Structures are given as C-alpha cells and as structure tokens.
A and B are shown apart, each in its own frame.
Chain A
Amino acid sequence: MVSYIIVGMIGVLLLGFWKLQVIDSDKYGQMAEINRVRSIPIIAPRGRMLDRDGRVLVDNRPSFSVLLLRDDPPLVEKNLAAIADGLGLSMSDLREQLDNTKALPKFQPIVIKPEASGADLDFIESHRADLPVLEMLSVSRRRYLPGGYMAHASGYVGEASEQQIEASNGKLRPGDVVGKAGLERQYNDILMGTDGMRRVIVNSVGREVGHLPQQDPIPGKQIQLTIDMDLQTVAEQSLGARPGAVVALDPRTGEVLAMVSRPTMDPNDFAVRISKEEWKQLNEDPLRPLFNRAVQAQLAPGSVFKIVTATAMLEDHNPPESFATYCPGYGTFYGRQFKCWVYSSRKGPTSHGTLTLHDAILKSCDVFFYNAGMRLGIDRLSYYGDKFGIGHRTGIDLPSEETGLMPSEPWVERVFHRKWYAGETISVAIGQGAVTTTPVQLARMIGGIASGGVFKQPHLRKDLPTVGEERVPLSEPTVDKITEAMYGVVNEPGGTGTSLKIKDVELSGKSGTAQVIGYDTRAKFGKQKKFDDNGWFVGYAPRRNPEIAVAVLVQEGGGLHGGESAGPVVRDIVKAYYDKKMKKMQGEVTADNSNPPKPPKPVPKNGTPAAALAPRAAVLKEDEHTVQPEPARDDQ
C-alpha cells in the first residue's frame, strides 16, 4: 500500500509539471522572455513636410527625454527627492506621474521629463552610480516654423490618447507620438514611422549582460504639400493678427497654395508635453486658437452668395437676363421692408438707381438680388447652392472640415418642423439668413464657377492619388457674364473692389460683408461688437479659367467691409503669385536655386494690430499707393 502512495505522489507531482511545462508552457515562456529581455524603444523620426518646391515646412530636431526605470520601486522611492531636485521637477508632479503609471508593468520605464536640458543630461551622467534609475532616451522632436506659421494646416502632434490606442489595433502604445490635428493627423499613417527596439538581456539584478539583434526604426515618409511657401508667407503677414482665414488654391487642380487661420497657436508647444493649464487655456480661449477657420468656420457668405443667385438667374432665365430693377435703397417683400446696404451707407447716395445684373454685381445691390431671389424661389437657389458645394464638405484632406449649410424647404421641415417662410428666401438671395459657408468652400465655388463649372477637390498633399472633380454644366454665356461682372468688381468704376486693382493682372472677385455670425458662435459672442462684421473677399485671376483663387475672411469690427478688410489680403497674395510667376518666366529665380525663402516673421498669438501690420506694410512696400484702401467704397 505504501508503494501505491509513493507512485501516486510522484504521479501527482508529474501532473503538476505537465501542466506548467506542456499545457502552460507558452505563457511561461513569454514571461521568461519578459524577464530576460529589456526593450528600449528607438523612436522613429516622423516624415517631414515640404512645400511644393521642396522647401522644409515641418521637420524634426534631436532631443532627449529622461526615463525613469521602475524595476525596483523601493530604490525609486528612496531617490525621488534627489531626482526631483536634480531635474528641477516638482515633487508632487513626479509623484503624480508615478501614480498615473502604476498600472503599467514594472519593467516598462516612464518618461518623467520629455524635454531634457543639457544640465539634466549632465546630472544623469554624473549620477549614474547613485541614481541608476535614470536613463536618457534619444528622441526626435517635431519642429514647426515659429510663430504659428501654417499651424492650422500642419496641425500638431501629441501623445496618443487612450481612444486612439484602442482604435489602432495594437499599432500604438502609450506614450507614442501621433498627429492630433491638421495634416499631422490626416497623414499620420504616412508620417509616422515604426519605432525600433534595442533589446538587451538583463540578469535578475537588472544588469545588462548582453544584447539581442536590434530592430532598426523605420522612419516615417515625408510628404510634399501643395503649399507655396512664398504665398503662405505673404498670406500670414497680410492677414496679420486679425481673426480670420485665408485659403488660396489653384482652381485648375484644387491644389491649396496657402492656408492661414487666425488667431493661431504655436504647435511647437505641443511637440513637448503640454501642461494641463496651457491646454485648458487654449481650449477655453473665446477666440478659439485651435479652430481652423479656413475649413471649420461656418459663416454667412454675405454678398459673395450673390454669385450663386446671379448664376441661377442666368441659367434659369428667371428673371430674364434683361431684367432691371430700380433700387430706392430698400424693397418691400411679403409685407416686410428689406434694406439695401446703400440705404444706411454713411456717405454717398442712398440709392443705386436702376440696375441690370452686371451693375448689380459690381455695386452689390441688395434690392436687385432680393427681386431675383424672389422670382427664383428657395428651391432653385438651394439647388444651385447645393450644386456649387454649399452644405457639403469640399473633401479637403484635413480632419474636421465643416459642411456649412444651404437652407431649403425640406431642411426647415426636417429641422424645425415648420414651413419655409417666403421672406427667408429674400435674405438667402443675398447670402444672409441660414446660409453658411466655410472659406475653403467659397474659394472652391468661385474658382469653379470662373472655370466654367469645373470644381476640383481642394487638397494639400501634392501627390494625392486621386483628386475629386465635380462638373456642373454651366452655359458659356452665363460663365462669361458672371466672370465679366466679377472682373468689373475690381476693374470697373463703381465696383466694390476697385482699390484692389493690380496692373497687368486680371484680378476678379466678389466682396461680402455679413453681419450675422454662425448660429452657435452668435449665441456665445453675439453681444461682442468685435464680431459683428465678417468681411469676405473671394478673388481670382485671370478672369476666365483662373490659376489662383483666394478666399479671405476677416473678422473684425470698425465698420470696414469685405472689400476693404479682406480684399487687400487677396490682392497681396495674387500679386505675389504673379510676381513669382514673372520671375520664373524671366529665369531670374527658379524654385530650385532660389535663396531660402524669407524667414517667416512670427505673428504674435495675441499680438497688437500695430505689431501685426508692420510686416504687412513691408510686403506691400513696392506698391505703396494700394496699401491704403481707397476711401468710401462701402460694400454689403
């Protein structure tokens, strides 16, 4: 019997070994590997962003992070004060970082100071013996041009959020740097490389005793943008510090040449870990510096919309082309009086007299378009607005683009459960009421109409595999008349943009000023006078099949109208475009051998207008007579 007990005992022990060594062998094998191998990441640099001529817009710089090895908690605990002191960290901050990472495995080091100074490195080096828990990690840090240059287009990077990590199917790990906004986010998969791994064998007391083959990092790929650094610089400086946005694109291809949004922020601040306070401040700033107005601001287009009304009228022949109306400064529709902007104008006549379509566009007469809109009806207006892209994303390769809104009867029924009021059509006809657009939408729309109804998808990446295109068949006479009128806006006496005239350039365009701001924004800031006027100017050149179209939004008070506030920015950019084109043609300067582009002048985040205007004046020096807008050309 005793023999059976012995055999049984050995049998039970063997079963125990069987379970560990055969059934659970893989699990323990992995645990043994984790024990023995310490993996130290080698951070792959992100791909650069180049402008259309190959000039660097965003690149990287080498930097060091301080790592805390947590294999031995008591040792960490004992030296915490010395570490905090040596690295200039606050004890509570350090403690919080430790607490936040408690759940992570002990062998995984944590970054306690992302941006180590030279003094920090000296400190670590000289305390290798007594503070073995500190280690340096070489990283490559994102470098953007200073002063928030092109900040909204480029976006910024940051540590991957928990949601991003979860959504990445294991590709991302905590602490990985990913694009958080703009192109950085849009093209994160291309820009982000694959981190390498230095794998060392450590013994039970953590000493390195050898290493395994290193896994080299795969650097991210660079992307070339359609941005032209020369035009971008002009756009940045010309808009200055005024809240607003600029989108310049080539309507033939949809390539975005410049994109600016104000107020701006410095994405370099995000390249290193940003403090909670700074983040909160950026998010709660009523001016919303993180908001890319070029693609996200949904505002009433004002008189720029009249191009939609005019096109609809010509295409539908309703009212007929010969339609003329007398503008007494106001009109009464459906028992309500609608004023023309000229009526309340401070100077000059309070009436436009009798106008045809051409003059109505030139002078931006509201009464004419009230009548045209009334005849067309909301269905036709919204049909054309919709066709031209209002209410739809342009498909620009940036995250969080907004759609704007083209109101229609079905829309009010769906959203407000009521019938369309006929009076609303009158407002919509001049770009007021519920209609809202984004700057990029307007650049695409006006450029597309001037191109005979060919709308290219705006985009920022040069070698986008496929560029979307939409064609709206417009009759030749319609396009002719519309473009002639927009040419007249700048180049004929009485136009609302005559101050913007450029010698030898067929600058055309349409101004707009909207007193209404986006519904949500209005609720927040409606009482602030500062936001009362949204000045628009959408210009392009040449007058048919344009090479460049620029939409500019300036949000500031002071009674300036679109032609005055936004127009000069359009003008500066178009002029810079032609200047460069001329130089290229004369062979003086080519993109490849040109001097490095003008160092972009930092634009203060909350700079004073004076500071912001200074560089703008400098750019315009060659053409001084146009710096000051010609007086008294009010525009609605």
Chain B
Amino acid sequence: MRDAPGTRDYDWWLLVIVAAICALGVLEIYSATHGSSLAGMHNKQLRWLAVGVVLMFILSRIDYHLIMDQSLILYLVCIAALIGVLLIGNTRFGAKRWIPLMGQMFQVSELAKLIIIIVLARFFTEVRSDKLDLRDLIKAGLLVGVPLVLILKQPDLGTALVLVPLLFVGAFLAGLQWHHLAAIVLVGAMLVGAVFYPPVSKHILKPYQRERITSFLHPEEDAKGSGYQLLQSKIAVGSGGFWGKGFGNGTQNQLGYIPVRYSDFIMAAWAEETGFKGVLVALGLYMALLLRLVQNAQRAKDRAGMFLVMGVAAALGFHVLVNVAMVIGAMPVTGIPLPLMSYGGSATLFVFMAIGLVMNVRLRRFVN
C-alpha cells in the first residue's frame, strides 16, 4: 500500500501507442507542409506535444477523486467560459471558438469536453442503483445539453456532437433502460432525418452546415464548390492505392488539393502517401489505443474511475470514427480533428489531459 504511486505503474504500453501515433502525425504534418508557406508546423506540433506530456503527468498526479469533487466548480467555469467565448471570443473561419491565452489561441470547447467527461463521471458515479431512472437520465441530459447548445452557438457542430456519445456511453454503463434507449434512438433518428431533410434543416442548421450536408450527399455535383473537400479527400485516399505514392510524394497532398491536409484531413494525406498498408498501421494503433483504454477502465478500482476512463475512450473513439469516416467520404465534413495526428494546440492538449486522467485512474487502481 503506497500513498504515492511510482513511475512503474504508469501504463507504458499506452504511452508507447500514443507516442507512435504522435510520431505518424508529426511526420505527416512535416510532409504536408514542408514545401509550403506553412513550413515548420511540425515543430510547433512537437512543442504542443511537449506541453501535452507535461500536463498529462501533472494531471495524473492529482488524485482523480479530488478532481471529481470539484465538478460543480469545473462545470460552472466551463459554462462561463463558453458564454465568455460567445461574448468576447475571436472569430476565425466564420466561428467564434477561440480565446487568447498566453499569446496562443485556445478553443474553449476542447476544455469543455474534458470537463464534461469529469462531470458526467461524477454524476453517474452518484447513481447508486443498477437501473438508471428517467429522472436521472433527464438530469444527465440537461447537464450535457447546456454546454452543447452553447458550443452549437459558436457554431461548432463537431465538438458539440462529441458530447452526445459521452452522455450515451455514460448512461449505458450506468444502467440505461431499454425503453429509454429506444426513445433516445428514435429522437436521434428524427434529428438526423431533420438534418438531412432540407425543408426542416433550413430552420435548424446554419447555411454552411447545410452546404456540408449537401456536399456530403452529392460530392461530385460541384467539384470546386462545397463538395470539393470530400471529393479531393477521396481522390487522395483512393489514388494512394495499396502501397501509397511514397512519403512526400502524394500529389493531392503536396499540391494542396487536400483541404487542411495537416489537420482535419491529415488521414487523407497519410493514406495517399503510405497507401493501404500505412492506413493499416495507423488504424491498428488507434484500435490498440482504444482497446488499451477500455482495459484500463475495466481494471479501475471504482465506478468513478471506470466512468472517467470510459468517457475518455468514448470521446477519442468518436473522434476517430467521425474523422476517418469523413476522410473516406462516408460522413459529412464536421470539423473534428483526428486525435494525436492532426495539428492543433487545444485539441492536442485535450487528448493528453484526457490520457492524464486515464493514467491517474490506473496509478490508483491498487490504492485505497
């Protein structure tokens, strides 16, 4: 029985996987940007990774129970920050998502994801029965709903959507009842239907969001317009073939046909240059990462730890699914980055802090 956990108890396998994925990301960011005005971006990403590692270790050392005890404050800070960004945030790419902090621009919604993971874990831990009753379900829904609406307001549909699987996975583990599940699925199906049905969607979606839906459904219709991104991404992936065009030789990547090739569409660049074999490696690593997270959740000492780790797994799994599906044209453009590979400060820090929480739980699995 040790009070302070030792370095041996860190999940070194998980760290190896994370490091490998980050390495792929940095390599591909280098390949995608070295010949352009964005050259040097991989160095910036390395710096973010370094900051992320530090944050991860810090977060792993503070007992997660202590953190979860501050849920209410964290939640309020989160809501305040989201309102704040709507009031004073910087607008980039047509959305108010950023606030300046220490000379860098941060996406508040990335922080919100982390806090919601903690808050939900805390909430579901408190549900002490095997079955989740309707009242608790609604409470959890409201808990997620408020930040979700605020994030939608920015607007940032992608990040807002990430909150949904957090709620869903948490509720499921907390004993979601089948008839509630059915109701949620029904409502969800109606929402999706509404999004894809123009007469309804024009009331609930922004024009750029509707355009994305349209371009997803008919990418070839206007190859230079809104369908451009998805089509170019598919061309990049498909033209890579099984063996790939070679690192630094992807024409779609190097000539800039892939949209934001260093960030949201980095998987398209990777797939073009390394081919299906490279995709096997990358997706294999993500699979290992997610499985390792789930294993950590199962070995958690208590419900709180389990909920926390599963929340992280759900968030990362959802990111991977939605981002990669978008890259192969199976989902509309939502602006969700690929965890650990895509360039991005806030997103990278979020993932490392989330991993920090997982380490936190793991370090304390034998501690009473």
A contacts, CB < 8 Å to B: 2-3, 6-7, 9-10, 13-14, 16-22, 24-25, 27-29, 31-32, 35-36, 71-73, 106, 201-205, 209
Contacts and interface: CB of A to CB of B under 8 A. Distances in A.
Interface stretch (B42-50, B155-163, B324-332): B324-332
Given A17-B283, A73-B224, 14 more contacts: A13-B328, A16-B324, A16-B325, A17-B328, A20-B237, A22-B242, A25-B238, A25-B240, A28-B234, A35-B232, A106-B223, A203-B256, A203-B257, A204-B257
B280 A106 contact: no
B57 interface: no
Contacts of A20: 234, 237-238, 328-329
A14 B282 CA distance: 10
Contacts of A28: 234-235, 237-239
A205 B36 CA distance: 13
Contacts of A205: 256
A80 B235 CA distance: 32
B66 to A, nearest CB: 27
A24 to B, nearest CB: 5
A72 B222 CA distance: 12
Nearest to A73: B224
Interface residues of B, number: 39
Contact of A14 (B223, B279, B329): B279
B321 interface: yes
B60 interface: no
Contacts of A21: 237-238, 240-242, 271, 275-276, 279
Nearest to A31: B235
A20 B252 CA distance: 15
Interface of B: 223-224, 232, 234-242, 251-252, 255-257, 271, 275-276, 279-280, 283-284, 286-287, 290-291, 294, 310, 313, 317, 320-321, 324-325, 328-330
Contacts of B239: 25, 28-29, 31-32
Nearest to A21: B276
A21 B245 CA distance: 11
Contacts of B257: 32, 35-36, 203-204
B276 A18 contact: yes
A425 B236 CA distance: 80
A570 B155 CA distance: 90
A578 to B, nearest CB: 70
Contacts of B256: 203-205
A3 B252 CA distance: 35
25 contacts: A2-B294, A2-B310, A6-B290, A6-B294, A6-B317, A13-B324, A16-B330, A19-B328, A21-B275, A22-B242, A24-B238, A25-B238, A25-B240, A25-B242, A28-B238, A29-B238, A32-B236, A32-B251, A35-B255, A35-B257, A36-B251, A71-B224, A72-B224, A73-B224, A106-B223
Nearest to A72: B224
Contacts, number: 110
Question: Does more than half of chain A's interface fall in helix, strand or loop, or is it mixed?
Answer: helix
Given A22-B242, A25-B241, A36-B255, A13 B224 contact: no
Contact of A3 (B236, B237, B291, B328): B291
A13 B283 contact: yes
B185 to A, nearest CB: 16
Nearest to A2: B294
Given A6-B290, A10-B286, A22-B276, A202 B238 contact: no
Name the 10 nearest CB pairs between A and B, nearest first.
A28-B238, A32-B239, A204-B256, A20-B238, A203-B255, A16-B328, A10-B287, A25-B241, A21-B276, A29-B239
Given A6-B294, A17-B271, A209 B238 contact: no
Contacts of A16: 324-325, 328, 330
A19 B276 CA distance: 10
B319 to A, nearest CB: 12
B367 to A, nearest CB: 25
Contact of A35 (B240, B251, B271, B280): B251
B328 A9 contact: no
A10 B283 CA distance: 7
Residue with the greatest number of chain B CB neighbours at <10 A, chosen from A7, A19, A31, A32: A32
Contact of A9 (B251, B275, B294, B321): B321
B224 A35 contact: no
Contacts of B255: 35-36, 201-204, 209
Contacts of B275: 21
Contacts of B251: 32, 35-36, 201
Contacts of B271: 17, 21
A562 B289 CA distance: 102
Residue with the greatest number of chain B CB neighbours at <10 A, chosen from A16, A17, A36, A73: A17
A32 B291 contact: no
Contacts of A2: 294, 310, 313
